[in-house]
Amino acid sequence: MRTWLLRLLVLVTAMLGINYVVWRWLFSLNWDAWWIAVPLVIAETYSLIDSLLFGLTMWRVKRRGEPDAPPEGATVDVFITTYNEPLDLVQKTALAAQAITHPHETWLLDDGNRAELGAWAEANGIGWIRRSEDWIDRPRHAKAGNINNALMATEGEFLLILDADQIPEPNILDRTLGYFRDEQVALVQTPQVFTNVPDSDPLGSQAPLFYGPIQQGKDGWNAAFFCGSNAVIRREALMQLGVARYVGEVEVSVNRALRTSKAVLAKATKQLTPADEHLRASLDEVAYDVGRAQRELRRGLAIADVTYRFQQRVDAISRGLVESDMRALQADLAAIETMSDHIDDIDGGLAVIDMTALDQMSHRDWSPLGALETVRALIGAIDVDRGHEAQPIMPLATISVTEDMATCMRLHTMGWRSVYHHETLAYGLAPEDLGTMLTQRLRWAQGTVQVMFRENPLTQRGLTIAQRLMYWSTMWSYLSGFAALVYIAAPIVYLTIGVLPVDSLGSDFFARLIPFLVVNQLLFFVVGRGAKTWRGQQYSLALFPVWIKSFTSAFGNVFLGRSLDFAVTPKTRQERQGPPWHLIKPQLWAMALLVLASAAGIARLATGEADPLGTWVNIVWVVFDLLIFSVLIQAALYRGYQPDDIHEKEPS
């Protein structure tokens, strides 16, 4: 009955929302004030799509029963990732991990390479893994690189991944390994719950809606995803993913080189005279070999074999032309030597000649032998060993500052399954100050938007339609910052200058809007089952500057090549003198403008310049916006967790 009630609410919410937004687009736009009317209806459409995606997620909420017993003889490596966290914190987590009842090996993945931590680990029988010399002067890929490095140094069939502050319960493996009896399961994710959060949760650290109904809903569509910690992963799945990505990236590089080779050969052929028929025949032969290599790759032949045979054929033809066009060859060789200065990195993948250099080569005037030498150099430039990386196989995704979502989405594209087990089996530490929280949220958002730009789930082969929408819904939610700007601006515009973005505030408007808002909130109430979801709703709007920055900075990183540094979330309170008001300046300005606009609206009402209904509706809107932003005042004044605030849960 509960499932059917939930589905009924989803359907009613969808129908009411679609009815309202369609009516808004067709019948209520104030085109005389299109500059605010159109942005507002676009923002409302965004919110409707967000609501529809949430409803789709809730449609197949999966509440799993008791897990099976772990597979016989399952071997496990427990990875605790650490960089610069306090030693006592890391040691506490490591000792708790060592006490896990299922047989396992515990490893500290120390990216800080701290000798004192290594000595302590050795004294306590805990493994200590740090980066090898191969990583020097090469991309480190933050946490993903740390885990990828450890994968090559361990052998366990399964991996339990923990952040340095996530203290596991002794039965965490007993409660999760049973799902791996299904050989298609690659991942089991459990909730992240924090012990240093008061009941008021001023920083919005607890996420009962996400680590509960949302993940359970995604689980129903086989789209529950990896959240970076408190998860068990099948090593076979990760290694298969790493090898598949490696082969795919090599193939992309080879195909790019072959396409450029074809353009170079075509350019050289056009310059031949009727007297150069023997040269034309040689170039045509190589062009045919380029096409044959492309066809062989499409048929799935081994890349190494294809490129080797192609190189041999080019070499044989080149030897027949050595005595031709030597002067032109000297100039061409000089151009070829510059190719080493144009090595680029494809989305954290293989090094190949960059696209600018490829374009220049395809348009340059080449002599016949120079063209063949260029083709040979293009194929030879493919870094099959990935010499610019510390290791050729990178199982965890390195395309984002957060490795979890991209890795899980790739696993799903390969047909692997994931599980969300709704039981708290580890207890962590949340940020205790506003600055740390903002740093954490920005990194999460940046990583998600990076994945959206680089590997948009809507276009990923291997995902079902539902899986694509489940991943997209998470990415879509981070675009709310732009909608929030409009929701702030609209009441300010009306209260100050009297411009209404809708034709009228008549009965048609309220009869469509109010039922949608009421039923939508009722849906959240039923889904939450008593959990406190309001704080999450507040922060989804109140952090609009963070969401906008995540979008612009990720765009700059992906498309403009700007750096995007990885910031490790501090595990202790960052002491500052006084409340950090400077961190929320945009929101404070928004609150001030809303208050001033309300005063202006009341003044205009008193002088008879404003419509009473429109004024009071917008003042109610302002009050709602201020209620949303009020959480940031609490966050700025928050002095950190006090043990007396709540009963601290210690792992048993």
pLDDT category of residue 283 using cuts at 50, 70 and 90: confident
Per-residue b or e along 141-162, where b marks 16 or more CB atoms closer than 10 Å to that residue's CB? bbbbbbbbbbbeebebebbbbb
3-class SS at 79? strand
Q: Any idea of the CA torsion for 84, 89, 91, 92, to the nearest 10 degrees?
A: -160
This prediction's pTM: 0.84
Q: Are residue 221 and residue 308 in the same domain, yes or no?
A: no
- Could you say which of 317, 351, 380 is where a domain stops? 380
Asked whether the predicted pLDDT for residue 388 surpasses 80, the reply is no
- pLDDT value, residue 646: 42
Partners of 419 in beta bridges: 188
For the residues 509-524, what does the mean pLDDT come to? Answer: 93
Q: Are residue 267 and residue 222 in the same domain, yes or no?
A: no
**Angle 98-100-148 from CA coordinates, rounded to 5°:** 65
Structure tokens at 641: 């967790």
Q: Are residue 97 and residue 224 in the same domain, yes or no?
A: yes
pLDDT, tens digit (0-9, with 9 covering 90-100), for 414-440: 999 999 999 999 999 999 999 999 999
Q: Are residue 167 and residue 277 in the same domain, yes or no?
A: no
pLDDT, tens digit (0-9, with 9 covering 90-100), for 595-645: 999 999 999 999 999 899 999 999 999 999 999 999 999 999 998 887 654
Q: How far is residue 34's CA from residue 47's CA, in Å, rounded to a whole number?
A: 19
Number of folded domains that form the chain:
2
- pLDDT value, residue 369: 66
Better pLDDT: 478 or 352: 478
Better pLDDT: 588 or 347: 588
Asked whether the predicted pLDDT for residue 277 surpasses 80, the reply is no
Q: Are residue 425 and residue 306 in the same domain, yes or no?
A: no
Asked whether the predicted pLDDT for residue 280 surpasses 50, the reply is yes
Q: For residue 366, is it within any domain? A: yes
CB atoms within 10 A of CB 123: 8
β-strands 158-163, 231-234: how paired? antiparallel
Residue with tokens 């000595």: 119
| E strand or H helix that includes residue 107 | strand 105-110
- pLDDT value, residue 311: 80
Better pLDDT: 412 or 334: 412
42-51, 65-74, 382-391: lowest mean pLDDT where? 382-391
- pLDDT value, residue 565: 63
Computed over every residue of the chain, the mean pLDDT equals 87
Q: For residue 529, is it within any domain? A: no
pLDDT category of residue 325 using cuts at 50, 70 and 90: low
Asked whether the predicted pLDDT for residue 295 surpasses 80, the reply is yes
Q: Are residue 313 and residue 364 in the same domain, yes or no?
A: yes
pLDDT category of residue 349 using cuts at 50, 70 and 90: very low
62-76, 220-234, 341-355, 489-503: lowest mean pLDDT where? 341-355
Asked whether the predicted pLDDT for residue 331 surpasses 60, the reply is no
Q: For residue 602, is it within any domain? A: no
pLDDT category of residue 318 using cuts at 50, 70 and 90: confident
Q: For residue 627, is it within any domain? A: no
- pLDDT value, residue 652: 43
Q: For residue 195, is it within any domain? A: yes
Burial class of residue 299 in the structure, from the number of CB atoms within 10 Å of its CB (0-12 exposed, 13-18 middle, 19+ buried) = exposed
Q: Are residue 276 and residue 341 in the same domain, yes or no?
A: yes
149-153, 363-367, 406-410, 500-504: lowest mean pLDDT where? 363-367
Q: How far is residue 598's CA from residue 470's CA, in Å, rounded to a whole number?
A: 39
Q: For residue 490, is it within any domain? A: no
For the residues 231-235, what does the mean pLDDT come to? Answer: 98
Residue-by-residue DSSP string for 108-166: EEETT--HHHHHHHHHTT-EEE---GGGTTS---HHHHHHHHHHTT---SEEEEEETT-
For the residues 546-556, what does the mean pLDDT come to? Answer: 95
Q: For residue 646, is it within any domain? A: no
pLDDT category of residue 113 using cuts at 50, 70 and 90: very high
Q: How far is residue 90's CA from residue 82's CA, in Å, rounded to a whole number?
A: 7
Q: Are residue 223 and residue 143 in the same domain, yes or no?
A: yes
The CATH number for 186's domain is 3.90.550.10
Q: Are residue 104 and residue 157 in the same domain, yes or no?
A: yes
Structure tokens at 221: 């569509």
Residue type, 26: L
Q: Are residue 83 and residue 229 in the same domain, yes or no?
A: yes
- The CA–CA distances, whole Å, from 339 to 334, 347, 380, 475 equal 9, 20, 11, 38
Structure tokens at 439: 């740093």
Range of the domain at 118: 76-233+401-431+451-462
Residue type, 465: I
Nearest alpha-carbon partner for 218 in 35, 420, 27, 477 = 420
- pLDDT value, residue 648: 44
- pLDDT value, residue 528: 81
Q: How far is residue 331's CA from residue 328's CA, in Å, rounded to a whole number?
A: 5
- pLDDT value, residue 302: 78
pLDDT, tens digit (0-9, with 9 covering 90-100), for 609-623: 989 999 999 999 999
Q: For residue 249, is it within any domain? A: yes
pLDDT, tens digit (0-9, with 9 covering 90-100), for 6-31: 999 999 999 999 999 999 999 999 99
Asked whether the predicted pLDDT for residue 69 surpasses 80, the reply is yes
pLDDT category of residue 94 using cuts at 50, 70 and 90: very high
Helices 355-363 and 235-270, axial angle in degrees (round to 10) = 20
Asked whether the predicted pLDDT for residue 354 surpasses 70, the reply is no
Q: Are residue 364 and residue 253 in the same domain, yes or no?
A: yes
Q: How far is residue 154's CA from residue 149's CA, in Å, rounded to a whole number?
A: 9
DSSP, res 364: S
- The CA–CA distances, whole Å, from 95 to 108, 160, 170, 450, 479 equal 11, 15, 11, 35, 41
- pLDDT value, residue 26: 94
Q: Are residue 247 and residue 206 in the same domain, yes or no?
A: no
